[in-house]
Every structure is written in structure tokens, then in C-alpha cells.
Amino acid sequence: MAAITAHFPAREVFARYAQSGKWFNDAGQLHSTEQIAAEWYQSQGYDVKTWANSFIQTCVATFLAPVIQDPGDPELVGGMRRSSRGWFKDHSKASIISVVHPADFGSAKYYERRSKEFVDWFARLNLSDSLGELFEELLEKGTSLRDYLWVNEDYAVELARTALRIIPKETVLRCMQWTIEHYWDRRVGWPNLFVYENNRFLFVKSQYSSLSQDHVNWFQWAAKSNMPFEICRVKKRDTI
């Protein structure tokens, strides 16, 4: 694994280690590895959004909802469940919602079964003058699907809005295309930071311990797709 990741763009950031994956920042505050990395990029003049993997999940649930929840799909199923919105604050108060989705959604077989519909829909999306405007038009329609995919929160929508202003349309479509081909496997490898300045952006994976195979798979795809990314390795300052 180390030999593979050595070929990915990376930088090193140093901080004083506390314990259990926690670090002290320059102000002496106890932070996670992600927070230490985010503060470093902010110190360099970048804006930083966390939970960056919500970007692709929100885009899939919003832009692709007309295909995923197509009434003409014979594998469509419905059910009742508690809403994921506000779940982490107090799941006992989450409302009961109805969600419709394909029984085989998220698998490679699902995409293979519905590939023609997705190819046609991506062609239509490519003709859009503004993905940002289209996102707003489709936002309400994708609400239940965002809930199903655990991104029915305001922060996820705002992250998507920010990213869509910065990331080129072709890149956004390529991200969704790759992810929907095997959604459940590919959504988990996305880095945790979206770093941007004007029209320049990076997806950044903060790292202290070893990377998962899911992350490596994402990095390999991103490298082939010319996606701007890097690994931010947080290291113990006392080892310098």
C-alpha cells in the first residue's frame, strides 16, 4: 500500500500529538487530524469545507434522482423509515418519511441494468448551461433520495452549491458517472476536505494512520481523471 500511495501528491504538516488520534494546534486546542489539516490550508489563504464526500452524494441524489426514482423502473420499491435529517442531534425525534428507490440501487448490477437511462441522462446534463441553476431546479425533487443517502442536511446542500460554483461541469459529471457505476463501494473513498481559493480547488485526504483500500481506489481514479487532489499527512512535531 505504501508503495502505491507514494506516487500520489502529498504534503506534510506537523503538530504536537496528544493521544487517540488527537493533536494540539498552535493555540493549544485539542483537534482531530482533519481539523489540523483544515487549519493549515486556511493559514495558506484557502477556504475549507469538511465532510467533502457529501458533495458527490448530494450531487448523485439531486442530479440523478429523475433516473434513480424513475417510476418506469420495474425494480423500484418503497418503504417508510425515520428521516436521516437531524439524526445525529436527536434521532428519536426524526420524522417518519416515505422513500422510493431501486431494490438493487448502488450495486454494479444496478448500473449495468440502467446504463442506457444513465447515458441518456448524462447527455442531457451535459447540455445544461449551468449545473448550479439546474441543481436548484432539481433540489426539491431529490429531497427523499438525499434523505435515503444521509445527505439531507443544510451543510451538504451548501457544500454542493459551493463546489458547483468552482468545479467545471465536465468534472462534476465525470465524478457522478464514476460513482454511480458502483455507488455503495465508491462513495466511501472520497477525501474529507474540499479546499478552494477563487477557481482553484483540491480534494484533500487528511492522514495520520494508514489509508484504506477505498481511498486508494479513489486516488487511482482521480489521478487518471486529472482530478486535483493531495494527501495531507499530519506528523508528530516532536519527531522533527
pLDDT for residue 1 is more than 90: no
Amino acid at residue number 76: L
**28-36: which pairs have CB atoms within 8 A and are 24 or more residues apart?**
33/206, 33/207, 33/208, 33/234, 34/192, 34/193, 34/206, 36/206, 36/234
10 is a domain residue: no
- Round to whole Å and give the CA distance between 60 and 73: 17
Whether residue 28 is contained in a domain is answered as no
Q: Express each pLDDT in 16-38 by its tens digit.
A: 999 888 999 989 999 999 999 99
Residue 92 reports pLDDT greater than 70: no
Does some domain include residue 181?
Answer: yes
List CB contacts of 238: < 8 A, sequence separation 6 or more: 16, 17
The verdict on residue 177 lying in a domain is yes
Q: Is the pLDDT of residue 119 over 50?
A: yes
The mean pLDDT value of the chain amounts to: 92
pLDDT at 80 (0 to 100)? 83
- 129 in a domain, yes or no? yes
Residue 139 lies in a domain: yes
Give the model confidence (pLDDT) of 215-224 as tens digits: 999 999 999 9
Residue in this structure with the C-alpha cell 480547488, named with its chain if needed: 201
**Distance, CA of 130 to chain centre:** 20
Residue 82 backbone dihedrals phi, psi, to 5 degrees = -75, 145
Q: Name the domain count of the chain.
A: 1
- What stretch of H or E contains 33? helix 33-43
165: containing domain: 53-190
Coil/strand/helix, residue 67: helix
pLDDT tens-digit series, residues 162-204 = 999 999 999 999 999 999 999 999 999 999 999 999 889 999 9
Higher pLDDT, 162 or 4: 162
Please check whether residue 97 lies inside any domain of the structure: yes
Distance of CA 3 to the CA centre of its chain: 26
Q: Contact 149/60 with Cβ under 8 angstroms?
A: yes
Q: Percentage of the chain surpassing pLDDT 70? A: 95
Domain presence at residue 216: no
Query: What's the pLDDT at 240?
Result: 46
For the cut 80, the answer to whether the pLDDT of residue 87 exceeds it is no
Q: What is the mean pLDDT of residues 112-131?
A: 97
Query: Per-residue pLDDT tens for 49-58?
Result: 999 999 999 9
Report the C-alpha gap between 209 and 24 in whole angstroms. Answer: 17
